[in-house]
Amino acid sequence: MSTKCDLLFGTLPEFVYKCGEIDRVAAVFDHEKITFTFADVKKEMDTLAAGLLSIGLRPQDRVLICGSNTAHFFICPLACARADLIFSLMNPNFANAEQLKYALLKGEFRAIICFPANREVEFLNNLLNEISPELMYSVKGRLYSKVIPKLTHVIMAEEEHKHAGTFTLSEIYGRSNRERVDKLPDFMTWNTHKLVALQFTSVS
């Protein structure tokens, strides 16, 4: 099969695994001083994917990833795809809490991964607390909100800020182990037309 056909009819994890055999740089994040080889990307993808499933997320759950061009933001959608989670990428700089609430409701997201915005510290966490004050008193992975009933998991990439009801991204990584990686879904059995991402667009 030609390379073109492979790209048309493969899955994201399949592409990462194939490229994982290439011994060269895959991505450079200069401002973070982080460089990933293709093998690094594969390892990071598997590790985070196993961690995500370990906190109670299930295949085909939807995950909203709010962030910008950072190393872990790059890995998150790949990890979601590896775990058979459906992801959506969004700019974290929402104008207000109503915009974030609309996105969470429209996408029926079960989890949100929050990276720092270009505004005040803990911007997304503050918006989430405004939408759903229950978050401040919830058990991790068991958020229940009448306003955003689908959302149960909140993951913060701002590691120095820990709150009741929220996981940190490093905590998710830390829950991964060899056994959990080995039990990840078998992507080679997937239909290549299955849903992996939701793309939101904005209009003027």
Tell me the three state secondary structure of residue 89.
strand
- Listing DSSP states for 17-43 in one string gives HHHTT--SEEEEEGGGTEEEEHHHHHH
> Would you say residue 204 lies in a domain?
no
**What CATH number does residue 65 fall under?**
3.40.50.980
Contacts of 1 (CB under 8 A, 6+ apart): none
pLDDT of residue 158: 80
Q: How buried is residue 105: exposed, middle or buried, by Cβ count under 10 Å (0-12/13-18/19+)?
A: middle
pLDDT of residue 165: 87
The stretch 78-94 carries a mean pLDDT of 97
> Would you say residue 199 lies in a domain?
no
How many distinct structural domains can be found in the chain? 1
> Would you say residue 196 lies in a domain?
no
pTM for the full model? 0.92
pLDDT of residue 161: 66
> Would you say residue 200 lies in a domain?
no
Which residue, 55, 164, 146, is CA-closest to 105?
146
Its domain, for residue 105, covers 3-189
Distance from C-alpha of 140 to C-alpha of 80, rounded to nearest angstrom = 19
**Which tokens hold the place of 145?**
């909100």
pLDDT per residue as tens digits for the range 8-53: 678 999 999 998 888 899 999 999 999 999 999 999 999 999 999 9
> Would you say residue 201 lies in a domain?
no
